[in-house]
Amino acid sequence: MTNNHIGAPPPVLRIVPTNSISPHEDHDSQRAMPLIKRLKHEQFVINPPLVAPMDANQYVVLDGANRYYAFAHLEYPHMLVQVAPYDGGYVELGTWRHIISEWDAGEFVRQLEALHKIEIIEGQDSRAIAHILLKDSRVLALLTPVQDTHERNATLREVVSIYQRNATLYRTALMEMADVWPLYPDALGVVVFPEYKPADIIAAARFQAFLPPGITRHIVHGRALRVNYPLDWLRDTTRTLADKSQQLEQWMQQKLAARQVRYYAEATYQFDE
């Protein structure tokens, strides 16, 4: 749900213990490992992970699972995060579509059929954990007999891991296949996931029933980007959380006083990712 106001409130930036954060999705090892190497030498946190309150003093990662994993792996005690409650009116929850490219469609289907917990039927089905829209216009629904959140999400992770290992994967928010095929001429198909609710995301985090990486898409109106917060302040194991929180507050006041914080209301495209 989004707020109808044109503007968005200032971002709530907070320093929290790394161990107070739980992901709702698996990290992507292809992205996480290079990030770990970079973080050992980086000077600044550029884009803080986005989190929502979950339980008392606990948070679920909405966006930034790889950054969380890197901090936890490096045993950094604290993280800078942006807190955006689901019920605050400025968070939209959607899903990405996965474009599978540079692989053989027949082999992809054969490997899916080899998964013992997957039944493949042609056409759409509301019970499906995912649909595959093939370039030849066929639609395949992937069904699984399990209802438990752990097993259901584990089966979905197996499906995604098949094309993660064998194909080139792109994410898109495009809805019309006529828009997808010209942009990705080597694509064999698109994987479409069901819509999730905030309760699904929180349950995945709370019970460690992780979704595959790169499925959920959180849009936050008033997202904090290009923050460039000193990483050494977070690495420091000699200062308390209260000290670091006070330091963050002073840093924010200085940024605002110097007019270094700017709000863009319009949707944007970034070409330096």
Q: Collapse the DSSP code of 247 into the 3-class scheme (helix H, G, I; strand E, B; otherwise coil) and give the result.
A: helix
In the predicted model, is pLDDT for residue 3 greater than 60? no
pLDDT in tens, 217-262: 999 999 999 999 999 999 999 999 999 999 999 999 999 999 988 8
Please report the pLDDT score of residue 273 as a whole number: 61
Residue 162 contacts residue 108 (beta carbons within 8 Å): yes
Confidence band of 5 (pLDDT split at 50, 70, 90): very low
Q: pLDDT at position 147, please?
A: 75
Check whether 111 has a pLDDT greater than 60: yes
> pLDDT tens digit string along 34-90?
889 998 889 999 999 999 999 889 999 999 999 999 999 999 999 999 999 999 999
pLDDT band at 202; cut points 50, 70, 90: very high
Share of the chain above pLDDT 90, in %: 80
204: alpha, beta or left? (left if phi > 0; alpha if psi -120 to 50): alpha
| Assigned token pair, 243 | 């000290």
pLDDT exceeds 60 at position 29: yes
Sign of the Cα pseudo-torsion (42, 77, 202, 23, in order): positive
**For residue 151, how many other CB atoms are within 10 A of its CB?**
14
- What sign for the dihedral angle of Cα 57, 63, 65, 70? negative
For residues 177-194, give the mean pLDDT: 96
Overall pTM > 0.95:
no
* pLDDT score, position 272: 67
Cross-strand pairs, 121: 141
Alpha carbon distance 39, 70 (integer Å): 8
Please tell me the distance from the alpha carbon of residue 216 to that of residue 76, in angstroms, as a whole number. Answer: 26
pLDDT for 31 beyond 90 = no
pLDDT score at 4: 47
Asked if the model's pLDDT at residue 168 lies above 90, the reply is yes
Answer whether 25's CB lies under 8 Å from 204's CB. Answer: yes
pLDDT of 269 reads 75
When comparing pLDDT for 242 and 265, which is higher? 242
pLDDT-based confidence at 146, cuts 50/70/90?
confident
Using DSSP, state whether 38 is helix, strand or coil.
helix
Residue bearing the bigger pLDDT, 140 or 258: 140
Q: Average per-residue pLDDT in the chain?
A: 92
